Amino acid sequence: MKIVAALTDPVNAVLAQEQGADMIELRLDLFEGDLAGHAKRCRQQVTLPIIATLRSGAEGGRYFGNADEWMKQLAPLMPYVDYIDIEQRFSDNAPAIRAVGKQVIASSHEGRMLSLTELFHLERNLRAFGDIPKIIVTPQNEDDLIDLISFTAAAKKPICTGVMGSQYRQARAILPMFGSELVYCSVGAAPTAEGQFTVEEFVQLRNLLGM
């Protein structure tokens, strides 16, 4: 299990490393200015693997362009990052990204809970173009949460699972215990998603729970 520091401001990269993060996510759709310049400075300042994410508005982000424009924005910063987060709507770009040696986090963010059948079907679709499927859902009750834990334990690895919102934020701590590869945490004043633990909090949880 790896703690990912999801950054809304690239100036927090060094702090994330100092606090114990294992990886850094640059939420490029939340950045201002020169995206490639931000990525280059992060690469110079930290030794952690870096994920580049340009999250679409349809999945909770602030990028509203098409797949070609998405690729044009990401291409200049490819030399400075290790992973690219790709949603299904942008998956046609995955072969070109993998061809230059970048690993792909194939992601899907759902504003509802999926059935177990839907979860396994989605996992297969994401793994078809990515190295690590990332499936984020919105449980409505405890039965949904149990299904998500069961899926995480049974799914092919690596897998990343998580929840949207704060109602079941405890799942963010539980899912890594059942095989979720990545847990996204905040650094600084602005989390990238409601309900995130901070990096410092999750480092403490990992130590206490022996994860």
157 in catalytic set:
no
Quote the CA–CA distance of 105 and 192 in Å, as a whole number.
Answer: 17
- Of the candidates 2, 38, 72, 109, the residue annotated as catalytic is 109
109 in catalytic set:
yes
Phi, psi of 47 (to 5 degrees): -105, 0
> Pairing state of beta strands 182-186 and 160-163?
unpaired
- Of the candidates 2, 72, 121, 134, the residue annotated as catalytic is 134
Q: Rg of the chain's alpha carbons, rounded to an integer?
A: 16
| DSSP H helical ranges for the chain | 13-19, 35-45, 67-74, 94-99, 116-127, 142-154, 171-174, 199-209
Question: What are the residue numbers of the active site?
Answer: 109, 134
